[in-house]
Structure formats: structure tokens, C-alpha cells
Amino acid sequence: MNFVVDVEADGPCPGLYSMVSIGVVELSTMKGFYNTLKPISDHYQEDALKACNFTRQETLKFDDSNIAMTRLNDWLNNFYGNKVFWSDNNGFDWQFVNYYFHLYDIKNPFGFSSRRIGDYYCGRVNDLSANRKWKKLRKTKHTHNALDDAMGNAEALKQIMKGNY
């Protein structure tokens, strides 16, 4: 099963900073999951919060992150088979998801690898400089809402897989 994941965070790396929201879309059904997460760190970057349209005060009222990650794991368990993690920026998104699963002693259902949509697109069009051109295939607007962004990326990935680019 293929899952497109997007994370919004209040800084560049897990542990020092916190994931504030996560959106996940299962590619074959286009079913989505969304949750906000209360910070796990006192550190945050105001510009990172501004980019995802949250204030620090709002994030402090979000769901405890262990509850949010348990909800995500439960939702993912509704889908059978190997779970493949896809993302626009998997180096960023996967590190937060992996860290949070391990922080709460939940086995990462995606394992230890992930796939980047831009790299896949470059291979399909045989152009290593085309790593951002796939974004034109999104239908859902990129808003920095984690579910909107995961949905738009999933829409684009489906088109790339069909050869519609």
C-alpha cells in the first residue's frame, strides 16, 4: 500500500523541534488522515509556525502527540500489506514520523525507508533537473495544511504512475 505523507513542524528537525500536524493519504482509496500534535519541545521557530498558519499558543492546545501517533498507527492498521511512505520532501517528513513513532514505542509501519515523489518523476521523464515540475499535477492547492498538501501530492503521484505528465 502506498501512502503520501506531509508533516508541518515548528522547526527543522525532530527532538529539538516538534511536529505540529500530519496528513496522510492512502493512494488507492484517496482516504486521508489528519491530526495536530502538541509540541514535545520548548524550542520553536516563529517563521516555521507562521508558514503552517499556527501560533505557538494554538499548538499548545493540540492533541498530545502520543495520542495522535497512536491514532495514526491505528488508522494505518486498517490497511493490509506493506506500507510505502511517499513524500514531497521525504528527508524532512520521514524523519519526524520515524522519530515520533519510536518516541512512543510504536513500531514504524513504514519501516526504515521512504520515497521522494520528485525523484520518481525525474526517472519517469528521464530528466534529473525536473524534480519540481511534477507539482503542476496537483489538483488540491498547496496550503501548508498537512492533509491538503498530502492530498495534492497524492493526486500528482497517481498521475505520474499512470504516465500522465
CATH (domain of 54): 3.30.420.10
84 within a domain of the structure (yes/no): yes
Could you give the count of Cα atoms lying within 13 Å of 109 in the half-sphere of its Cβ?
22
Q: For residue 18, which amino acid is it? A: S
Closest C-alpha to 22, from 79, 91, 94, 77: 94
Residue 121 in domain:
no
Cell of 153: 501530492
CA 21 vs. chain centroid, Å, equals 9
CA dist 102 and 89 (Å) reads 20
Confidence of residue 6 (pLDDT cuts 50, 70, 90): very high
Which position among 43, 102, 142, 144 bears the catalytic label? 144
In-domain check, residue 133? no
Q: Is residue 163 part of a domain?
A: no
Do β-strands 84-87 and 115-116 pair in parallel, antiparallel, or remain unpaired? parallel
Sheet of 84-87: strand order equals: 31-36, 19-26, 2-9, 84-87, 115-116
Has residue 89 been placed in a domain? yes
Q: What is the pLDDT of residues 81-103, one digit of tens each?
A: 999 999 999 999 999 999 999 99
How many separate domains does the chain show?
1
Q: Is residue 106 part of a domain?
A: yes
Q: Which three cell numbers stand for residue 126?
A: 528521464
Q: Name the phi and psi angles at 160, rounded to 5.
A: -60, -45
pLDDT > 90: percent of the chain: 99
Is 144 noted as a catalytic residue in this protein? yes
pLDDT band at 57 (very low <50, low <70, confident <90, very high): very high
